[in-house]
Amino acid sequence: MSLSDENLIDLYGKMLLVRAMEEAHARLLKEERISLMGHFGTGQEAVAVGVTGPLTRNDILFGTHRGVGEFIGKGMSPRDIWLEYLGKETSLCKGKGGFHLTDRKNNIPCVPGCIGSDFSLAVGTALAAQMRKTGQVTLYFGGDGAYGQADAHPSMGMAALWKLPVVFAICNNQFCEYSYGRDVNPTEDIAPRAAGYNIPFEIVDGQDIETTCEAAERAVNHARSGKGPYVIEYKTFRMAPHFTGDEGRPEYVDPKDIEKWGKRDPLDLCRRKLSDRNILTPEKDRIMREEVRSEVEKAIEEAFAAPDPTGNDLLRDLYTQGGISHE
Ligand SMILES: Cc1ncc(C[n+]2csc(CCOP(=O)(O)OP(=O)(O)O)c2C)c(N)n1
């Protein structure tokens, strides 16, 4: 099974957009036009874009602090992200979100500051979908570090017991902040823990967009068809430092790993596939990159020009009635 030409080029475009967004973020920090730090997902684009590939807008995403991949994949626009990053009055959270992206219209409830504290929220949205029979799947997308948090286990246990429509996806980028996973995890793989809850799991290559998206498709179909939760572990590597304030401290990263994983950059791999299928020429690639870059620049300039919130705006909309929407 392989993705259609149309699907593959669409996912490539999304990965280009993710990388361009994060490169622009880095540049604006360097130029001192912004002070918002970033945790970039360079090298992990095929995981974040692939895992969200099979989701509909109606499905629910719990994403991570690392970059914009899954948010772009779920449908957030560069404009909405930059308005949020710059804390503008016209942003989705009217200046209250920052880099913890939240987008009600795309069913992205929150990114918590406390890693892994949202596992039980994902079980809650999956339970609500099951009770309301909405057909929605919840995707909980977290790092290998997040899956070491205590709340992961009762959440997986309840999801399995009640056969809830939730996919637990693990982005194993081999780091938890400043430590290699091998120094903090007793096992090399995280996903087999699912067996303890009788949840099916698989472990797949995180660099190949077809593999990442197809694994997500199997998981989402399983959850949507009423069979309960599913776990996928994506093997990838964090090419960026933990965060933008960490640039000068890469001493804990083995340069051999950077060299090895750099050879399997997900954008390069996808470009090669597209070229092998004769659907991407170097010229078309150049045009796609240019279009993506100008889309990002336009979003940034629009966000800079947007109004800032007033003191009163910051006290508005702190409580809501309703919650997750469903069609
Ligand atoms: C409960 C908690 N402990 C520590 C932190 C600080 N922290 C922020 S990101 C991060 C690393 C999390 O690792 P992982 O989930 O693997 O994601 P990655 O950063 O590798 O993408 C840590 C420890 C936090 N935000 N919350």
Across residues 171-195, what is the average pLDDT? 96
Indicate which residue's Cα is closest to atom 4 of ligand 1.
115
For strands 179-180 and 175-176, give the pairing: antiparallel
Of 120, 123, 131, 76, residue with least CA distance to 100? 76
Please give the distance, rounded to the nearest whole angstrom, from the Cα atom of residue 98 to the centre of ligand 1. 17
Indicate which residue's Cα is closest to atom 18 of ligand 1.
143
Of 17, 7, 91, 54, residue with least CA distance to 293? 17
pTM for the model: 0.96
Please name the residues in contact with 88: beta carbons below 8 A apart, sequence gap of 6 or more. 95, 303, 306, 307, 308, 309
Phi then psi dihedrals of residue 106, to 5 deg: -105, 15
Q: How confident is the model at residue 95 (pLDDT cuts 50, 70, 90)?
A: confident
The first and second tokens of residue 122, run together, are: 């994902």
**Is 181 a pocket residue for ligand 1 (Cβ < 6 Å)?**
no
The first and second tokens of residue 294, run together, are: 């100008």
**Torsion, CA 77, CA 81, CA 86, CA 88, rounded to 10:** 60
Q: How confident is the model at residue 249 (pLDDT cuts 50, 70, 90)?
A: low
Closest ligand 1 atom to Cα of 146: 15
CB 239 within 8 A of CB 261: yes
Of 162, 229, 237, residue with least CA distance to 193? 229
Q: How confident is the model at residue 324 (pLDDT cuts 50, 70, 90)?
A: low
Q: Is 46 helix (H, G, I), strand (E, B) or coil?
A: helix
Least confident residue range of 15-29, 122-136, 239-253: 239-253
Sheet holding 60-62, edge to edge: 60-62, 138-143, 166-172, 230-235, 201-205
Of 233, 210, 172, 231, residue with least CA distance to 54? 210
Q: Is 78 helix (H, G, I), strand (E, B) or coil?
A: helix
Of 218, 212, 255, residue with least CA distance to 235? 212
Angle between helices 5-30 and 45-52 (to 10 degrees): 130
**Is 144 a pocket residue for ligand 1 (Cβ < 6 Å)?**
yes
Please give the distance, rounded to the nearest whole angstrom, from the Cα atom of residue 64 to the centre of ligand 1. 9
pLDDT of res. 73 = 98
Q: What is the pLDDT of residues 212-239, one digit of tens each?
A: 999 999 999 999 999 999 999 999 999 9
89-95 long-range contacts (CB < 8 A, ≥24 apart) are: 89/306, 89/307, 89/308, 89/309, 89/310, 89/313, 90/306, 90/307, 91/303, 91/306, 94/309, 94/313, 94/314, 94/316, 94/317, 95/308, 95/309, 95/313, 95/314
Please give the distance, rounded to the nearest whole angstrom, from the Cα atom of residue 92 to the centre of ligand 1. 25
Across residues 279-284, what is the average pLDDT? 97
The first and second tokens of residue 241, run together, are: 């430092």
Please name the residues in contact with 101: beta carbons below 8 A apart, sequence gap of 6 or more. 63, 68, 71, 76, 81, 84, 108, 111
Closest ligand 1 atom to Cα of 66: 21
Sketch the domain layout of the chain as residue ranges. Answer: 5-300
Residue range 5-300 forms a domain whose CATH class is: alpha beta
**Is 143 a pocket residue for ligand 1 (Cβ < 6 Å)?**
yes
